[in-house]
A = this chain, B = another copy of it.
Amino acid sequence: MPTLTVERLTAAAFAPFGEVIAPESAKQVLGINAGTATRYHDLAHLDVESEGGRPLISWFRARPQALPLTLTQVERHPLGSQAFFPLTPHPYLVVVTHDPATVPRAFLAQPLQGVNYRRGLWHHALIALHAESNFLVIDRGGAGHNCDEVALAQAWQVTDLPA
């Protein structure tokens, strides 16, 4: 079984798939509240309104998974983007691909780095690594078929994380 190299998560590396949710992704930086706060404005493209969709806030609690990991399946949400923000101070694994027949990309996200998957992007279920982990999730609610699952053309193994 081939091994997937895990990359560090940066906005540039992730740009073909969506956005990294972090202050660095702000479209504007604004002083607010009489100078007591700074607003890093508009960090990700929330694309949730097709076919009568509406934005949702939810919470994911994910059990940790140990390496080596075998990845066999991805999913996509054809009607909406999906954003995750970690609430637990542990890195987590993000796996995405434009095409389940090709080599996926795996990224190690750090605490205080969220990700927003573009609408329709194939992705593996979020992988918590070191402890039970909580995530705030912003995605699409509403009627309509919004989840496809498919097997990867071959299984991939994750054995190591970037140093």
Please report A residues at the B interface, Cβ cutoff 8 Å: 21-23, 26, 32-34, 36-44, 46, 48-49, 54-63, 65, 83, 85, 87, 112, 114, 116, 125-126, 128, 134, 136-138, 141
Contact = CB atoms under 8 A, between A and B. Distances in A.
Nearest to A44: B57
Contacts of A23: 59, 61
Contacts of A55: 46, 48, 55, 138
A37 to B, nearest CB: 4
Nearest to A111: B87
Enumerate the 4 nearest inter-chain pairs by beta-carbon distance, A residue then B residue, closest first: A33-B125, A40-B59, A55-B55, A37-B62
Contacts of A56: 41-42, 46
Chain A contact residues: helix, strand, loop or mixed: strand
A22 B59 CA distance: 8
Nearest to A43: B57
Contacts of A40: 58-61
Contacts of A125: 32-34, 36-37
A134 to B, nearest CB: 8
